[in-house]
Chains A and B, each alone.
Chain A
């Protein structure tokens, strides 16, 4: 069974701090790793990573994947109160019709204080 473990489970920082969120995984026939942000309602897509060592970047957010060690990190620099959210990591596998099946981790709750 595919497994995704995120750490820490929760994190409290002050505006301007840099944070690193971790995601480790076990999946049969790994295809991709995804990061989502969830504020009050539904999750919204941040990044998808499929190749090792390649950094995806969007503004103050960046993510990198290590396929050998089976983990990914999500970095947020110069945090703002609007970054407060649950950050979810998910993996997909490449097996037959299940290659679109996303398995999520339990999420990291990030709180950014002014």
Chain B
């Protein structure tokens, strides 16, 4: 099973460039998330989605955009990259139904982004 797949694993951007981090999952999960993790820190939620066509902001959404046109894919778009966006980005997914939530997120391996 592939699980949650993120691409690219590494990327260096120049200030002002744009890029998209891809995330796809093959577990038919309805919930998907994007987190960023700075060195020595916990995870900060950027955006999340509870199903196709529905997205919502997390703690740190500024400078990012998302879309969820299918259940499988949840790309994260960085517009006008800034050095403050240098971080490791994790995509995650889980299945929840009604008010049932297991708490177990399945994470991708992460994408390390450097903005110079």
Contact = CB atoms under 8 A, between A and B. Distances in A.
Contacts of A102: 33, 45, 105
Given A97-B50, A97-B56, A100-B96, A32 B101 contact: yes
Interface string B90-108: 1010101001011111011
A41 B3 CA distance: 15
A100 B48 contact: yes
Contacts of A97: 50, 54, 56
Interface in B27-65: 31, 33, 35, 40-45, 48, 50, 54, 56, 58-59
Interface of A: 1, 4, 6, 31-32, 34, 36, 41-45, 48, 88, 90, 92, 94, 97-107, 109
A82 to B, nearest CB: 19
Contact of A42 (B31, B59, B107): B107
Decide if the interface of chain B is mainly helix, strand, loop or mixed.
strand
Contact of B41 (A100, A103, A107): A107
A97 B98 CA distance: 10
Contacts of B90: 42-43
8 contacts: A6-B42, A41-B109, A43-B43, A45-B104, A97-B54, A104-B35, A104-B43, A104-B45
Contacts of A45: 103-105
B110 interface: yes
Contacts of A4: 42
Contact of B110 (A41, A103, A109): A41
A1 B57 CA distance: 12
A66 B91 CA distance: 30
B50 A100 contact: yes
A76 B43 CA distance: 22
B45 A103 contact: yes
Nearest to B43: A104
A41 B112 CA distance: 11
